[in-house]
């Protein structure tokens, strides 16, 4: 089993829709989690960190479920500009980060 698994998608959704992605991780010795956004042929950029209590940043909400070992990202009121690949990143140790292969989102007009 991969250490971090994501549904590759693509998720094709209309503008204004709500879409959610999950990411499962394999080890309960988790430390920190992040969601990154990566546009085609560009570098990953931090979207948001994921806190134990869940956190929200505008239209984006991140949740952590330690019992079931997954994190989620919810995007409300999708915009065309949200089209990108979303990477789940697990930081289990002091230096090491494990990247998921990403979930592709396409928001359609």
- Tell me the C-alpha to C-alpha distance, in Å, between residue 29 and each of 32, 68, 78, 79: 10, 13, 33, 35
Q: Where are the beta strands (DSSP E) in 7-83?
A: 11-14, 19-25, 32-38, 45-50, 55-57, 60-65, 70-75
CB 85 within 8 A of CB 106: no
Minimum CB distance to another protein, residue 18 (Å): 26
Instruction: Report the residue number, 58 or 109, with the smaller CB distance to another protein.
Output: 58
Minimum CB distance to another protein, residue 46 (Å): 5
- List residues near another protein by CB under 8 A: 4, 8, 31-32, 34, 36, 41-46, 49, 87, 89, 91, 95-102
Q: Which letter does DSSP use for residue 59 in this model?
A: T
Instruction: Report the residue number, 89 or 107, with the smaller CB distance to another protein.
Output: 89
Instruction: Report the residue number, 17 or 38, with the smaller CB distance to another protein.
Output: 38
Instruction: Report the residue number, 17 or 69, with the smaller CB distance to another protein.
Output: 69
Minimum CB distance to another protein, residue 77 (Å): 25
């Amino acid at each position: 089993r991969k250490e971090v698994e994501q549904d590759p998608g693509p998720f094709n959704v209309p503008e204004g829709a709500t879409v959610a992605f999950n990411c499962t991780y394999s080890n309960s010795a988790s430390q920190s989690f992040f969601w990154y956004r990566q546009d085609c042929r560009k570098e990953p950029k931090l979207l948001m960190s994921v806190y134990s209590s869940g956190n929200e940043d505008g239209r984006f909400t991140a949740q952590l479920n330690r019992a079931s070992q997954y994190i989620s990202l919810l995007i409300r009121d999708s915009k065309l500009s949200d089209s990108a690949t979303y990477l789940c990143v697990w930081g289990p140790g002091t230096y090491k980060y494990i990247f998921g292969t990403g979930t592709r989102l396409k928001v359609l007009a």
